[in-house]
Amino acid sequence: MVSGVKTLDSLIRETSSSMNELDHGALLANAQNGDRDARELLIKKFTPFILRIASGMTGRFIKVGQDDEVSIGMMGFNEAIDNFRSEKGVSFLSFAETVIKRRLIDHFRKEGRSSKVIPFSSMERNEDGEESPTLSVEVEQARANYEAMLETEARKAEIIQYSQVLAQYGISFSELVEVSPKHDDARLRAMSVAWIIAGNVRYRNFLQEKKSLPLKQLEQEVKVSRKTIERQRKYIIAVVLVLIGDFHYLKEYININQR
């Protein structure tokens, strides 16, 4: 389990230096206030995010400037910029994904699900309908590159979403570098407390409603002093949020099968 905890800490350290690049809050605010340059930059920045959603909805490889689904997705993202309200408690990317999917569904219904998008499988044969070894290799490489790009952007988007959730608890992603336990035994203690909270409905509800740890209940259940829990509070909360949240990639950085 130590290696799993170390991996999470290493992710925090590796990512914190690039969070300014990933932070889109200022761009979003400026775009909503009528800054066209900010809007265009925000759309450009999240084009891979839009492509991932559109590609997932179609189940096919799609390209900018070629497929209608890309344009529909960008229109949905643009609409999300206009209509997003942070006070509703939903992250911008989650909201944008919902809007994009709705617009794509509307598009599919209007078109009777007819699409010009070309699946990878149809590209693996030559003009005579025979398999082309060279083309097949190129297609596989293109598929691999495309999927790698989508995964990279999905990881970035998930980290942004995670940082937004952390902010609701008064924690910044970069701050985790400072509050992460420096020693293995301290990390293990913090992780054990996080697992207990994540596995207990009452504790989870308390955390999500109060935005704080149920210290009184925890000190009766764990072999960790209240003072230690309070000192590691932000790190414990950060780990719990990964465990109970919809963070597919971040969960890989925690040894999810061991406690």
The pTM (predicted TM-score) of the whole model is: 0.55
Length of the chain: 259
Residues paired with residue 125 on neighbouring β-strands, in sequence order: 131
Per-residue pLDDT for 236 more than 90? Answer: yes
- Amino acid type, 51: L
Structure tokens at 85: 């309200």
User: Using an 8 Å Cβ cutoff, are 176 and 239 in contact?
Assistant: no
Kindly list the structural domains of the chain, giving each domain's residue range(s) and its CATH number in brackets, ordered by start: 23-167 (1.20.120), 181-253 (no CATH)
Give the model's pLDDT for residue 83: 92
Of 71-75, 159-163, 188-192, the range with the lowest mean pLDDT is 159-163
Give the model's pLDDT for residue 117: 44
In angstroms, rounded to a whole number, what is the distance separating the alpha carbons of residues 49 and 43?
Answer: 9
In angstroms, rounded to a whole number, what is the distance separating the alpha carbons of residues 78 and 195?
Answer: 39
pLDDT, tens digit (0-9, with 9 covering 90-100), for 15-74: 554 454 445 677 888 899 999 988 998 888 888 888 888 888 887 777 787 888 899 999
Give the sign of the dihedral formed by CA 160, CA 162, CA 167, CA 170: negative
Residues paired with residue 61 on neighbouring β-strands, in sequence order: 118
